[in-house]
Amino acid sequence: MQISFEEEQQVFHLYNDKISYVIQVEKQRYLKHCYYGKRIKRWHSGIKDYYYDRGFCANPIAEDRTFSLDTQLREFPESGQGDFRSPAYELEDRNGDKNARFFYNGYRILSGKIAPDGLPHVYTDADTEAMTLEITLQDKVRNQRILLYYTIYEDAVVTRFAKWINDGTEPIEICRFLSMNMDLPTQEYDVLTLSGAHTEEKNVYRRPLCADSVTIESSRGTSSPQATPFIGLLSPGTTEEQGEVLGVNLIYSGNFYGCVQCGQYGTIRVQLGINPYQFGWQLSPGSSFCTPEAVLVYSVNGLAGMSNTFHKLYRTRVCRGWYRDRERPVLLNSWEGMYFEINEEKMLTLAEEAAELGIELLVMDDGWFKGRNTDTTSLGDWTEDKKKFPDGLQSLAKKVKQKGIDFGIWFEPEMISRESDLYREHPDWVIRSPFYEPILSRHQLVLDLSNPAVCEYLIDAVSKVLVSGNISYVKWDMNRHLTDLGSAYLDRKNQNELSHRYVLGLYRVMETLTERFPQVLFESCSSGGGRFDAGMLYYMPQTWTSDNTDAVCRLKIQHGTSLLFPTVTMGAHVSACPNHQVGRTTPLATRFAVAAAGNLGYELDLKKLSKEEKEEVREQIAEYKRRRRTVQFGTYYRLADSFQENQSAWNIVSEDGMEVIFTHVQILARSAYRVPVIRLKGLDPDAVYIDCETGQEYGGDELMYAGIRIPRIRQDFSSTTMVLRKS
C-alpha cells in the first residue's frame, strides 16, 4: 500500500493493489472527495467538475460565482458556509456562536496505524501492514484543529476517524463530530441496511435511492437490535457475486447516526458517526476528542466480496487475544433449560450429562447470585446465592471441572436492581434525572459508567469471581437501554457527554478485565444481538447472536449478521421444541444444521431428551468437532440469494481449501416440488471433491457452475448437509 501527494495538483492518493482513495485540496482550503473505488494508477485532475453558477448558491470566494460548497463533493463538510447538506461537525462557543472556518493546513504521511484514543479499532501487528494519512484542518480565529486520519491496508479497506484539538484559551462545545463523510458523484445506488428488533436482529433491507435520504440511527445508548451502524451502497443489479459495493461500518457500541443524503444535483453524501442527538462534548483548552473509527470496504465482487473482506478484517484485526485464533468450545447454557431455577445439584447433574455427550463448557446463566429468583432483583450483587449454592461458587466451579468440563458464568455488570445491596449503598450510581423517578425496564436501572468509581467497582466485582481460575468463560449481558439521561457524577455542563462517556467507561472496564483474565473466553450479549457490533468484538471475540433460537428465524438473523461478521463471532444454540420464542417445532437435525454454522451450543434441559435424541446430540457434537476448524475459521459464502424463496443455503471452505461444508434448509415442503439448484462458491474448479458420507465424486467446476440439486424431503424445516473433501 502507498500514499502519495502530488504537490502541483494538491492530490492525495491512497492506494494498494485493489483500491484507490483520492482527495484533493481545492482553492488551498477545502477538501474535495475525488474517488473511492477500484485501483487507478493516477488521478490526473482532468475532470473539471461542479463549477457552475447555480441559483441559491453561496460563494465563499466572492469573485467566483461558479464555486459553491453546496455543489462540491466534500470530504469533511462544515456547517454555516453555504453547504446546506448534512455537516460532519459543528461547535458552539460560550456565547452560543456556532460559526467556524476550518481550512486545510497541511498533512503527514505515516507508516503504520494511528488509533483513536480509548476506542476500539482495526489494529495492525506490524507497521508494514498499513499506512496513514493525517490531514489537518485549522480554524485560526478560534485556534482549533481537526485532524483527519485515513489508514489504508493491504486489503480493500480504508479506516477513518477524526480528532479535534482545542489549541485556544476558551472551552468550546463539540455539538456534532462524525467519523466519516464522503460525497459521491452519482445517486445510482441501492442502499442496504441491517435493521430489526429484539429477537429479529439484522434483517437485510435494500432499496434504490430516490431523491430522498436514508438515515439510520440509534439513540438507545447501544448500537441496538433495531439498527446496525452499517450502510451498504450497491451499484444497480449487484448480486452476491457481482457488482460494486461500498460498505461502511462503525466500530462503536453506542448511539450512532448514519445517512445517505441526496444532493440537489445528483450527488450523494454518506455519513456515519456518533449520533449528534443528545450529544455534546466540552472541549477545554489543550484537550482533544477522538471519534470512533469507521471502516470503508470496497468490493468489485458483490456482497460476498464485501463480506469476505469484513470477515477477515474483523476476525484477525479487530478480535484480539488468546481466543482469536483458537477453536471455540461447544457449550451448554442453562438459560432456556432452567431459567432462574438453578442450584448446585442441578448444575452438577447437568455437567455430568453434558460432559458425557461431548460438551466442553457448561455455562451457568442468570439466577446464580444473591436472591436472584426473578428478574426483579439483585443485579449488582455479584456474590453467589447461598441457598442455591451452599458450598459457594468456587467450589461448584471446581466440582464441574472435576467432571471433565469447563465452567462459565453469566453477568450483567452494567445494570443494577433497585432491590439490591448495591443500590441501597449507592443510589447515586444510577443513570437518572435528579428531578424524576427513573423509568424501569426489565425492573432494572443502568449504572453510570461515566463515573470512574462505578467502573472500578465493576472491575473489582467481576475480578473477585474470576480470580479463582476455575471459570473459563463469561457471558456479558446487557438487557435494557438508557433513559432519563442524567449523571450525579458529571457537572451540569457535561451532562450531554453521558452516553458517550458510558461507552468509554464500558470499554475501559472490558479492556482491564480482558487483559487481567486473558484466558477467559468472553461472549457479549445484549438480549441476544442487541449490541452485536465491531466495538464489542474488539474486547469479546464472540457474541450471542439472538435470543431467538428458532432454527427458521435464525436463518434470517444469521444471514443478515453474516453480511459483516464472521461465523466465529456468532453464538448459535440448539434449543428445545416447541421453540420458546415462536412455538415452532423443527427437527433436531435442522436445529443443529443451523446452529452448526456458528459457535455451536445447546440450550435445553438435557433430561428432557429421549435416549434417541441424546444419541443424536452426541453424534452432532462429534461431527461439529470434526469440522469445527472449517466452520469457525473458513470462508463463508451465502448461496443463491435464496432466503426469500423458502430456503436458505451456505457453504464454508476451510482455510486450506481442502474441506467444504454445504448446508441447505428447506422451510416449507411443497407438493409441486421444484428441485432447487444451488451453486457452491469458493471452490477450486480444477479439483475433484468427494462427499465424505457417500463417496460420490464431484468436480469443483460442476459444484460451482452446474450446482447441487437438492433431493425432495417431504417435511417442513428439513435440512441437507454435505461435507466434501478435496481429493
By CB under 6 A, name the one of 78, 365, 406, 497 that touches ligand DGJ.
365
How far apart are the C-alpha atoms of 523 and 572, rounded to whole Å? Answer: 12
What mask, x for binding ligand DGJ by CB under 6 A, covers residues 529 to 548? ---------------x--x-
What mask, x for binding ligand DGJ by CB under 6 A, covers residues 550 to 589? ----------------------------------------
Per CB under 6 A, 527 contacts ligand DGJ: yes
Stretch that binds ligand DGJ, among 199-207, 432-440, 524-532, 625-633 (CB under 6 A): 524-532
Give 3-state DSSP helix, strand, coil % of the chain, rounded to 5: 20, 35, 45
State the residue number with the nearest CB to ligand DGJ. Answer: 366
Stretch that binds ligand DGJ, among 296-304, 305-313, 523-531, 711-719 (CB under 6 A): 523-531
Contact indicator for 565, 228 with CB cutoff of 8 Å: no
| Helix or strand (DSSP H, E) at 206 | strand 200-208
How far apart are the C-alpha atoms of 346 and 250, rounded to whole Å? Answer: 42
How far apart are the C-alpha atoms of 66 and 88, rounded to whole Å? Answer: 23
Three-state DSSP state, 325: coil
Backbone angles phi, psi at 590, to 5 degrees: -75, -40
- Our CB check for ligand DGJ shows the closer of 477 and 533 to be 477
Q: What radius of gyration do the chain's Cα atoms show?
A: 27
Per CB under 6 A, 196 contacts ligand DGJ: no
Three-state DSSP state, 559: helix
- Our CB check for ligand DGJ shows the closer of 548 and 720 to be 548
| Helix or strand (DSSP H, E) at 307 | helix 302-317
Contact indicator for 674, 727 with CB cutoff of 8 Å: no
Per CB under 6 A, 634 contacts ligand DGJ: no
Three-state DSSP state, 551: helix
Stretch that binds ligand DGJ, among 283-291, 306-314, 521-529, 576-584 (CB under 6 A): 521-529
Per CB under 6 A, 102 contacts ligand DGJ: no
Stretch that binds ligand DGJ, among 41-49, 520-528, 640-648, 649-657 (CB under 6 A): 520-528
- Our CB check for ligand DGJ shows the closer of 78 and 477 to be 477
Per CB under 6 A, 602 contacts ligand DGJ: no
| Helix or strand (DSSP H, E) at 138 | strand 130-139
> Taking Cα atoms as reference points, which of 472, 348, 357 lies closest to residue 406?
472
CB 221 to ligand DGJ: min, Å = 16
Pairing of strands 444-446, 361-364: unpaired
Per CB under 6 A, 381 contacts ligand DGJ: no
Per CB under 6 A, 366 contacts ligand DGJ: yes
Q: Give the residues across from 714 on adjacent strands.
A: none
- Our CB check for ligand DGJ shows the closer of 27 and 198 to be 198
CB 410 to ligand DGJ: min, Å = 6
- Our CB check for ligand DGJ shows the closer of 305 and 367 to be 367
Backbone angles phi, psi at 140, to 5 degrees: -75, -25
Neighbour-count burial of 56, counting CB atoms closer than 10 A to its CB (0-12 exposed, 13-18 middle, 19+ buried): exposed
Q: Which residues are part of the catalytic machinery?
A: 477, 547
CB 366 to ligand DGJ: min, Å = 3
Is cis: bond before 578, omega within 30 of 0?
yes
> Exposure pattern of 549-569 as b/e (b: 16+ CB <10 Å)?
bbbbbbbbbbbbbbbbbbbbb
Per CB under 6 A, 525 contacts ligand DGJ: yes
CB 477 to ligand DGJ: min, Å = 5
How far apart are the C-alpha atoms of 615 and 619, rounded to whole Å? Answer: 6
- Our CB check for ligand DGJ shows the closer of 150 and 544 to be 544
- Our CB check for ligand DGJ shows the closer of 289 and 335 to be 335
Per CB under 6 A, 502 contacts ligand DGJ: no
Per CB under 6 A, 477 contacts ligand DGJ: yes
How far apart are the C-alpha atoms of 534 and 536, rounded to whole Å? Answer: 5
Q: Compute the residue count for the chain.
A: 727
Residue in this structure with the C-alpha cell 452499517, named with its chain if needed: 230
Per CB under 6 A, 335 contacts ligand DGJ: yes
Per CB under 6 A, 479 contacts ligand DGJ: yes
Which residue type sits at 712?
R
C-alpha cell, 6: 502530488
Number of residues near ligand DGJ (by CB under 6 A): 11
Stretch that binds ligand DGJ, among 21-29, 162-170, 311-319, 522-530 (CB under 6 A): 522-530
How far apart are the C-alpha atoms of 312 and 27, rounded to whole Å? Answer: 40
CB 335 to ligand DGJ: min, Å = 5
- Our CB check for ligand DGJ shows the closer of 479 and 487 to be 479
- Our CB check for ligand DGJ shows the closer of 293 and 477 to be 477
Stretch that binds ligand DGJ, among 158-166, 229-237, 511-519, 525-533 (CB under 6 A): 525-533
Residues binding ligand DGJ (CB under 6 A): 335, 365-366, 410, 477, 479, 525, 527-528, 544, 547
